[in-house]
Amino acid sequence: MSRYAPDASADQAAQSRFRPVDSVPSANPAKVDLHSHSTRSDGVMPPAELFQQMTECGMEVVALSDHDTMSGYRELRDLVGDIAGAPQLIAAVEINSIADRDLIEMGVELEEGELHILGYGVDADDPHFLRALESQRDARRVRLMMIIDALRALGKPIDDQIAVVLESDEALGRPHIARAMVAAGHVASVQQAFDEWIDRKGPAYIPRQGMKSRAAIDAITAAGGLPALAHYPAAPEQPELIDLLMGWGLRGLEVYYRRFTPITVRQMEALAAQRGLIATGGTDYHGDGQSYADARSTTEVPREVGDRLIEALGGVGART
């Protein structure tokens, strides 16, 4: 059962997260970016290089929200004081969580059966939280090995191209597989690798193992963080889902997302205001085929969004 109103689904189809976006620069390019990825998970740029580019773009408040690791943030917090004009840096993480049974029973439509939960202001030294993230990374590695095996069985081996990545302790993901497939000459682009081989309908798709959504919200809360629902444009049509997640401790909503249409952004703003959720936003920059400057200049995140999040996190605590 889908509860999408016809207009909303048309709007959503037009803004599929992975569809290329036209890169017409915004009149108000973001100075706030609360969603980005580095090589510590599945982005293409090392944390320090990404942070340097953020600084050069004149960003004011940023968060590196790598999947299942705090290692990029831990590196950056030691650098930030030495870089002239550096933006304020907020501790963050993104946990791609598997929908709990209660969510599935609601009949909500979820991309790949998942909700992505961002955690802001988490304690990056909390041993319990770091162990939980380590288990997540272990589960990612197991899944990746299974995808590699499936591709080999399908006549698309990537063992040589993926070897370097497997040696690291990074949070591995399908973008690593997709890039290895490009390097092996099996596909022409990362997008083609997803579309033909490894997205949910692909022959080499293997389901994720790891935290459920409720556990992700709990883990972030227990580490002193503010859990926020990432890139979920159907939220305004799903009041029961929002009730359930807020009952579990959800406190924020990603309202400003690079690929949301202006209509969706307005609806998400209204939802956040109505439910008392902290609005967040950002580029979700990974770096495949696009510069950071480009991503940021095609994203709008109002300045107050950074200030309000910092305030919700207790002000100065957010600054490192």
- Of 133 and 318, which has the nearer Cβ to ligand AMP? 133
Decide: is 284 part of the binding site for Fe ion (CB under 5 A): yes
Query: Contact region for Fe ion (CB under 5 A) — 47-55, 93-101, 130-138, 149-157?
Result: 93-101
Residue with Cβ nearer Fe ion (186 or 259)? 259
Least distance from C-beta 110 to Fe ion, angstroms? Answer: 12
Single residue of 116, 137, 174, 186 touching Fe ion by CB under 5 A: 116
Q: Binding residues for ligand AMP, per CB under 6 A?
A: 18, 42, 67, 96, 173-175, 191, 194, 199, 208, 286
Q: Give me the torsion for CA of 216, 217, 218, 222, rounded to 10°.
A: 100
User: Which among 63, 70, 67, 30 is positioned nearest to 144, based on CA atoms?
Assistant: 67
Residue closer to Fe ion, measured from CB, 110 or 184 = 110
Nearest to 35 by CA among 256, 270, 266, 317: 256
Q: How far is the CB of 229 from Fe ion (least distance, A)?
A: 10
Residue 93 pairs with which residues in a beta bridge?
119
Nearer CB in complex with ligand AMP: 75/199 = 199
Give 158: exposed, middle or buried? Use CB within 10 Å, 0-12, 13-18, 19+: buried
Q: Which is nearer to Fe ion, 68 or 94 (CB)?
A: 94
Look at residue 155 and give its three-state secondary structure: coil
Q: Which does 199 bind (CB under 5 to 8 A by kind): ligand AMP, Fe ion, Zn ion, none?
A: ligand AMP
* Least distance between ligand AMP and beta carbon 202 (Å): 9
In the complex, what is the shortest distance from the CB of residue 155 to Zn ion, in angstroms, rounded to a whole number? 27
Query: Minimum distance from CB of 270 to ligand AMP (Å)?
Result: 27
- Contact between 237 and 278 (Cβ < 8 Å): no
- Residues in contact with Zn ion by the rule CB under 5 A: 37, 42
The letter for the amino acid at 304 is E
Euclidean distance between CA atoms 317 and 320, whole angstroms: 7
* 253's tokens: 């909503």
C-beta neighbour count of 127 within 10 angstroms: 8
Nearer to Fe ion, 11 or 94 (CB): 94
User: Least separation, in Å, of the C-beta of 284 and Zn ion?
Assistant: 7
Three-state SS for 184?
A: coil
Residue 67: both structure tokens together:
């999947």
Q: CA 107, 110, 116: angle at the middle one, nearest 5?
A: 130
Give the binding site for Fe ion (CB under 5 A).
Answer: 94, 116, 230, 284
